[in-house]
Structure 1
Amino acid sequence: MSLIHNERTKLSATWLNSIAAAAVAVGGIAPSIAAVTGTLSPLLAAGLVLFWFLVGAGLHFTARAILGRLRDTP
């Protein structure tokens, strides 16, 4: 039973970490492009990039905490 628990735990952590990577990628790329093209002020773009980086980091560390629930298998 612990093998099933561990696989489900790893799947949940992987899903959450994928969301974190997407948040960092999209949250970093879109405001940067908008700032370069002049549709968004550079200061606001920097703030958005920082915000989404922090969201991604928070989700990543939450995924790491979920992995702490793995059980030892006999």
Structure 2
Amino acid sequence: MNQIHNEQTKLLATGVNNVAVACIVTGFVTPISAMGVGATNAPPLGLDTIGFAVAWLLAGSGIHWLARRTLQSLKP
């Protein structure tokens, strides 16, 4: 039973971590990359853009932390 529980826990943690990665890519990496290459639809660099990117980075980091916490319930 422990192996089933552990595999289900790892699958859950992987799914949660994928959501964290999606948040970071969508809200942090994409705007920064768009500004870096000079895309015409890139957001202008300003305090609100920086705040938006940092908020998404922190949200993704927090969700990643939840995924790591999920792994603490693995059984020996």
Q: Into which bin does the TM-score normalised by the smaller protein fall?
A: 0.7 to 0.9
TM-score normalised according to structure 1 size: 0.83
Paired with 1:22 and 1:54, the residues of 2 have a C-alpha distance of 13
Paired with 1:16 and 1:39, the residues of 2 have a C-alpha distance of 28
The residue correspondences of 1:24-43 to structure 2 (distance < 5 A) are 24-32=24-32, 33=34, 37=40, 39-40=43-44, 42-43=46-47
Unaligned runs of 5+ in 1: none
Task: Name the Cα RMSD after superposition.
Answer: 2.0
Paired with 2:31 and 2:48, the residues of 1 have a C-alpha distance of 8
Post-superposition shift, 1:29? 3.5
TM-score normalised according to structure 2 size: 0.81
Structure 1 runs (4+) greater than 4 angstroms displaced: 36-41
Unaligned runs of 5+ in 2: none
